[in-house]
């Protein structure tokens, strides 16, 4: 409703102040509307594929300090380490083997498969929960394997899980995308009959969460209490054409009978790596396309909040997602363009009160923020999408104290290759993010036969009176072009592995330290290079 009013306001301002190029002065509200989004602590969170968690975190003798540095960089902005969900399809292909010495043994059907067909893990798997200081996790239990032996393994796992995660536990999770169990993933058999329905799912989920709790009562009674025993659920793919179960019906069938949902989690990817005709500009670097994808999630949140018995304060979050499902596409989801998409998508979600987004990661994945170890397929290193996470964390700021959390709004623009956001802290304008999604391909730009020119678009902002005489600082998210997979910086800093193992390194050759001030009539003008973003901070 509010969005529609502002579109009208923007259009009338455009008529009042036409200027070359035909774009409008962007009105920045004096104070946030009451329906502005307020992110929860660790809005910038990650989901790590269960089978690859030991790669990301390492273990007691070989902790992955590179990963820790990258998480620490985000903490420097957000006040606490990102929450880590350990889960994904492999959580439902994992069997606990109490006698196994190795943390995890992954069995691949083919050497080039992105994920193991299955894995076994032993008590030492849980060492990986102790390599990153001050980090909080969700641990994913297997719901899909439902033989008697699998249920016995699950209940044998529970005491190790609770004693390992004590003090670092955000919540448990049981099952990943159970709405696909009767459908089967590509290359994977269906694990439930076609008749499998929401009531079946809920009855299994309640039965096993109660059984796990009973097992924990014996070994970790403190974690089996009403206040500590909580879940991320239902963690459905909720994808048209894929989902055989409906999360609304699962709710209505009594998913929260035991009142142990910590958050209502759903999964979402903007598109899939296997979709025909995907490109950076058409699929990720177009605000209209991103808004349609985000609106799909917002609608689910609205529909859930309208369900009878849905507690108003039960957060609705994205427990898993990223740019292109099926682990991403090379040249697209691993590029700087995907980092710019990440800024747009994350801030649009935050502005619509989606409380948290766990962006999914896995070894060798094409959308990963970082590759935690060297493999024959991918070099260990910080990848371009990570810089999108950094920019989002910088924009949202310290989220640890509820009263200091920002109120985030999207600023509607006529140009669908631009996006803009404003944040307010204690009711005062705090930051503005401007994203220029116009594709500039550096490979083409550096083509000496037919080079292309990198344009600069000037955003004009109508700054509220209360801030119009203040000098604001400018921080840029930059790379050579949308296709760049290296050389990315935020505010002149690189977090690349090669430089200081993922710790921040200030580069001397990148523009930083700029300031900007509104001119006559309170209009601020900021140039933003094609395929880049700018954060403006009022202090």
Instruction: Classify burial at 79, counting beta carbons within 10 Å of its beta carbon; exposed 0-12, middle 13-18, buried 19 or more.
Output: middle
Smallest separation, CB 87 to ligand NAG (Å): 19
Q: Which residues bind ligand NAG (CB under 6 A)?
A: 35, 38, 59, 61-62, 102-103, 107, 109, 117-118, 124, 133-134, 146-148, 151, 192-193, 196, 204, 207-208, 211, 280-281, 286, 288-289, 299, 303, 313, 315, 331, 335, 353, 355, 416-417, 441, 443-444, 447, 449-450, 480, 482-484, 486-487, 507, 509
d(C-alpha 83, C-alpha 71), whole Å: 10
d(C-alpha 421, C-alpha 412), whole Å: 9
Smallest separation, CB 520 to ligand NAG (Å): 32
- Half-sphere exposure (CA, 13 Å, Cβ side) for 446? 7
Contact at 8 Å (CB) between 317 and 357? Answer: yes
Smallest separation, CB 80 to ligand NAG (Å): 8
- In the bound state with ligand NAG, the residue whose beta carbon lies nearer, of 451 and 519, is 451
Smallest separation, CB 519 to ligand NAG (Å): 29
Instruction: Please give the angle made by the CA atoms of 79, 84 and 88, to the nearest 5 degrees.
Output: 155
- Crossing angle, helix 384-396 and helix 65-78, to 10 degrees? 30
- In the bound state with ligand NAG, the residue whose beta carbon lies nearer, of 272 and 303, is 303
- Note if 98 is an active site residue: no
Tokens of 10: 């923007």
Tell me the pairing of strands 523-529 and 456-462.
antiparallel
Smallest separation, CB 518 to ligand NAG (Å): 29
Classify 446 as helix, strand or coil. coil
Which of 49, 173, 320, 529 is catalytic? The answer is 320
- In the bound state with ligand NAG, the residue whose beta carbon lies nearer, of 304 and 523, is 304
Smallest separation, CB 168 to ligand NAG (Å): 11
d(C-alpha 274, C-alpha 271), whole Å: 9
Classify 215 as helix, strand or coil. helix
Question: Which letter does DSSP use for residue 123 in this model?
Answer: G
CA 386 from centre of chain: 11
Q: What are the backbone angles phi and psi of residue 37, rounded to the nearest 5°?
A: -75, 145
Contact at 8 Å (CB) between 114 and 88? Answer: no
Contact at 8 Å (CB) between 23 and 415? Answer: yes
Closest by CA to 265, choosing from 171, 400, 397, 164, is 171
- In the bound state with ligand NAG, the residue whose beta carbon lies nearer, of 175 and 518, is 175
- In the bound state with ligand NAG, the residue whose beta carbon lies nearer, of 377 and 517, is 377
What's the residue count for the chain?
539
d(C-alpha 408, C-alpha 40), whole Å: 12
Smallest separation, CB 307 to ligand NAG (Å): 10
- In the bound state with ligand NAG, the residue whose beta carbon lies nearer, of 228 and 416, is 416
The residue whose two tokens read 């709790």 is 213
d(C-alpha 328, C-alpha 247), whole Å: 25
The residue whose two tokens read 């921040």 is 504
Smallest separation, CB 539 to ligand NAG (Å): 24
Tell me the pairing of strands 370-371 and 381-382.
antiparallel
Task: Count the neighbouring beta carbons within 10 Å of the beta carbon of residue 215.
Answer: 19
Instruction: Kindly tell me the number of DSSP H helices and DSSP E strands found in the chain.
Output: 11, 25
Smallest separation, CB 517 to ligand NAG (Å): 27
Which of 198, 204, 230, 529 is catalytic? The answer is 198
Which residues are 120's β-sheet partners?
A: 95, 105
Alpha helices for 220-265 (secondary structure H): 247-252
- SS in 3 state form for 281-342? HHHHCCHHHHHHHHHHHHHHHHHHHCCCCCCCCCCEEEEEEEEEECCCCCCCCCCHHHHHHH
CB nearest ligand NAG: which residue?
Answer: 487
Smallest separation, CB 468 to ligand NAG (Å): 27
- Note if 198 is an active site residue: yes
Classify 509 as helix, strand or coil. coil
Q: Which residues are part of the catalytic machinery?
A: 198, 320
């Amino acid at each position: 409703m509010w969005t529609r009013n502002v579109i009208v306001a923007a259009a009338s301002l455009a008529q009042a102040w036409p200027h070359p190029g035909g774009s409008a002065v962007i009105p920045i509200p004096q104070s946030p509307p009451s329906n502005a989004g307020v992110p929860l602590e660790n809005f910038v969170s990650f989901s790590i594929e269960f089978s690859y968690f030991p790669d990301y975190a390492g273990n007691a003798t070989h902790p992955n300090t590179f990963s820790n540095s990258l998480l620490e960089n985000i903490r420097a902005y957000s006040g606490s380490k990102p929450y880590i969900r350990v889960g994904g399809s492999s959580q439902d292909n994992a069997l606990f083997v109490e006698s196994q010495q190795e943390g995890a043994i992954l069995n691949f059907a083919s050497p080039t498969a992105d994920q193991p067909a299955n894995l076994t893990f032993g008590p030492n798997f849980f060492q990986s929960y102790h390599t990153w200081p001050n980090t909080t996790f969700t641990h994913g239990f297997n719901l899909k394997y439902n033989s008697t032996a699998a249920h016995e393994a699950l209940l044998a796992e529970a005491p190790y899980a609770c004693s390992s995660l004590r003090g670092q536990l955000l919540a448990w999770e049981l099952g990943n995308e159970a709405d696909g169990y009767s459908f089967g993933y590509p290359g994977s058999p269906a694990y439930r009959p076609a008749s499998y329905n929401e009531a079946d799912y809920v009855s299994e989920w309640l039965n096993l969460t109660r059984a796990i709790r009973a097992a924990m009562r014996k070994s970790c009674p403190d974690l089996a209490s009403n206040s500590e025993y909580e879940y991320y659920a239902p963690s459905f793919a909720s994808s048209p054409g894929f989902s055989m179960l409906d999360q609304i019906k699962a709710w209505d069938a009594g998913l929260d009978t035991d009142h142990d949902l910590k958050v209502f989690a759903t999964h979402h990817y903007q598109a899939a790596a296997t979709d025909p005709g995907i490109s950076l500009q058409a699929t990720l670097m177009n605000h209209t396309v991103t808004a349609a994808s985000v609106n799909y999630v917002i609608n689910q949140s609205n529909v859930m909040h309208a369900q009878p018995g849905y507690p108003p304060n039960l957060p609705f979050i994205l427990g898993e997602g990223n740019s292109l499902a099926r682990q991403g596409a090379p040249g697209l989801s691993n590029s700087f363009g995907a980092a710019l998409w990440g800024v747009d998508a994350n801030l649009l979600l935050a502005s619509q009160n989606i409380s948290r987004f766990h962006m999914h990661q896995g070894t060798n994945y094409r959308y990963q923020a970082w590759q935690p170890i060297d493999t024959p397929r991918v070099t260990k290193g910080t990848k371009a999408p990570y810089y999108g996470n950094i920019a989002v964390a910088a924009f949202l700021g310290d989220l640890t104290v509820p009263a200091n959390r920002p109120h985030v709004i999207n600023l509607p623009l006529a140009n669908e290759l631009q996006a803009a956001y404003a944040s307010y802290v204690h009711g005062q304008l705090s930051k503005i993010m401007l994203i220029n999604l116009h594709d500039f391909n550096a490979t083409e730009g550096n083509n000496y036969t037919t080079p292309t020119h990198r344009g600069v678009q000037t955003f004009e902002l109508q700054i509220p009176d209360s801030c119009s005489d203040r000098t604001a600082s400018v921080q840029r998210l930059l790379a050579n072009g949308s296709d760049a997979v290296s050389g990315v910086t935020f505010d002149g800093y690189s977090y690349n592995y090669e430089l200081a193992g993922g710790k921040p390194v200030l580069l001397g050759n990148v523009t930083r330290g700029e300031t900007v001030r509104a001119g006559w009539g309170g209009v601020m003008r900021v140039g933003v290079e094609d395929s880049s973003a700018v954060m403006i901070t009022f202090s």
